[in-house]
Amino acid sequence: MKAGDIQTALKKASLERLVEYTQVLVQPAISLKATPVKDAQAEAKLKVAISKLGGVPDLPAGQKWPMWKDAPQSFVGQIRLEETAPYDTNHRLPQQGMLWFFYDSRQETYGENPQDAGGWSVFYSSDIQQLQPAKVPEALAEQARFKTSTISFASTLMMAQQPQLEIAGLAWNNDDQAKYDAVYARFMSKASTTQPHHQMLGYPETLQDDMRLQCQMMTNGITDIDDPRVAELTKSANEWQLLLQVDSDERIGMNWPGAGMLYYWIKLADLQAQKFDSTWLVAQSE
């Protein structure tokens, strides 16, 4: 997919006025291809501190396994940032170090209530020279432990699903959205494939509503969309950036609620400041 091809398609769809906003509507992302490890023998040969989904994390000395409501969280994955750097077109991520992702092992945290904070964990270390495989807590339920997948990375482009959320003051109606949906489907056709869609950065593959206002509301302690404070919060909702999208992946036992996806979000300023304890998670289902 190339930006020029999208521009041509927008013109053919009578959406010429969007062409000048192509750089806004099309954002670079990093796709993650997960390859399940075949067996215990192959897993034993894996090097420490590689990128992977599931399995056992390689943690710094002294790093405690995160808990939620007296239960260990599930280990979702670790991303070695030296491996993502060549594909991080906008240089959003640190160029070295490791990111770790965990999630509520009971899968009862959806990011739809401010009290959900703490139901997931993201942490970062720039020093990965002394990492060691962690000891998995005995209290972590077997179904909350995922099989190991190695990860390869590639650059990709992701289109926004709702242009009116990205372009201030855009005149937009249902007919416009229908035309745009057709263009979106043409270029985002991978959504119809059977491969899991794991991704970092860019626009997410949203299964329900746009999540950025939800992140903004929850982190400000607001649950009512009719709250008068929401209008002001909406103005800066687009400061939230997708950090990681993890799809359900039956090959390794990752079956999120409703065959859905996990989305880890972070404000761009916090990402730039490497404040990874300021994330918000949303779980969406099909």
**Which amino acid, one-letter code, is at 272?**
Q
**Which amino acid, one-letter code, is at 48?**
V
Is the pLDDT score of 174 beyond 90? Answer: yes
Write out pLDDT tens, residues 85-126: 999 999 999 999 999 999 999 999 999 999 999 999 999 999
Torsional sign, CA 260, 264, 268, 271? negative
224-229, long-range: CB within 8 Å, 24+ apart, which pairs? none
User: The tokens 């897993």 sit on which residue?
Assistant: 43
User: The tokens 């590639």 sit on which residue?
Assistant: 154
Is the pLDDT score of 192 beyond 50? Answer: no
**Which amino acid, one-letter code, is at 52?**
K
Domain count, the chain: 1
Helix (H, G, I), strand (E, B), or coil: what is residue 132?
strand
Is the pLDDT score of 194 beyond 80? Answer: no
Helix (H, G, I), strand (E, B), or coil: what is residue 282?
strand
User: The tokens 């521009």 sit on which residue?
Assistant: 7
Q: Is 120 left (phi over 0), alpha (psi -120 to 50) or beta?
A: beta
CATH number of residue 51's parent domain: 2.30.320.10
User: Of 230, 208, 206, whose CA–CA distance to 218 is shortest?
Assistant: 230
Are 255 and 234 within 8 A, CB to CB? no
For 21, 181, 199, 206, 214, the CA distances from 34, given in Å and listed in that order, are 33, 28, 10, 20, 29
Q: How confident is the model at residue 75 (pLDDT cuts 50, 70, 90)?
A: very high
d(CA 197, CA 32): 7
Helix (H, G, I), strand (E, B), or coil: what is residue 202?
coil
Give the other-Cβ count within 10 Å of 227's Cβ. 13
pLDDT of residue 60: 95
Q: How confident is the model at residue 4 (pLDDT cuts 50, 70, 90)?
A: confident
Print the domain residue range for 133.
3-284
